[in-house]
Amino acid sequence: MDDSYQPPDTPLDVLHEDHEILVVNKPAGLLSVPGKGPHLADCLIARVQEAFPTALLVHRLDRDTSGVMVFGLTPHAQRHLGLQFEKRGVKKTYVARLWGRLEPRTGTVDLPLIVDWPNRPLQKVCHETGRAAQTDWRVQSYKDNETRVRFMPKTGRSHQLRVHALALGHVILGDPLYATGAAREFPRLMLHSEELRLRHPDGGEGMKFRAAAPF
């Protein structure tokens, strides 16, 4: 990634803004936070803070994943939202295109994950030392040798959906880390954060933010 990082030059896509929170639609190919080195400084939080100087990070999406992200605009909002993520109060829905035909049409992956140290940043399933990770899935449609699926992760481990899809035997199309052969030959990672449901930090009202998948 160090040599080939070419983030998209697209304007900030703001889905919602109020006195406590900011919700944006992150493009694929853009880091959520800066990487190591000045060539990896361009990232979503930097772009957001140019327009909203008080914005604070709450969670991340992988560089190659697009979709809905929420930021706190006050320290109170950041703490409130952070606790919701920590206590699994935020409901997340992703859309993905997978290699092959995933069956049955619904199910749950319950496989603990840990970093694959010799092959960082890859993650792997490890029943001895991995951290608990659960993902519900629901098939949307089948087309040729492909499955369109919605993932509803219950936890938020690094690369969780990518590794759980691999464990199911149906990698996410275009995944530069876990896919091989024809499954890798796509213009981007076919994974998108479609929807976040959370409680507003000021008053606790339930809110839903959504951005349609661009694929």
DSSP structure class, residue 172: B
Catalytic residue among 3, 9, 13, 62: 62
Nearest to 186 by CA among 170, 166, 172, 167: 172
CB atoms within 10 A of CB 170: 22
Distances (CA, A) of 122 to 22, 132, 133, 153, 176: 30, 17, 15, 19, 11
Exposed/middle/buried for residue 12 (C-beta within 10 Å: 0-12, 13-18, 19+): middle
- 175 as an active site residue: the answer is no
- Compute the chain's Rg from CA coordinates: 17
* Residues taking part in catalysis: 62
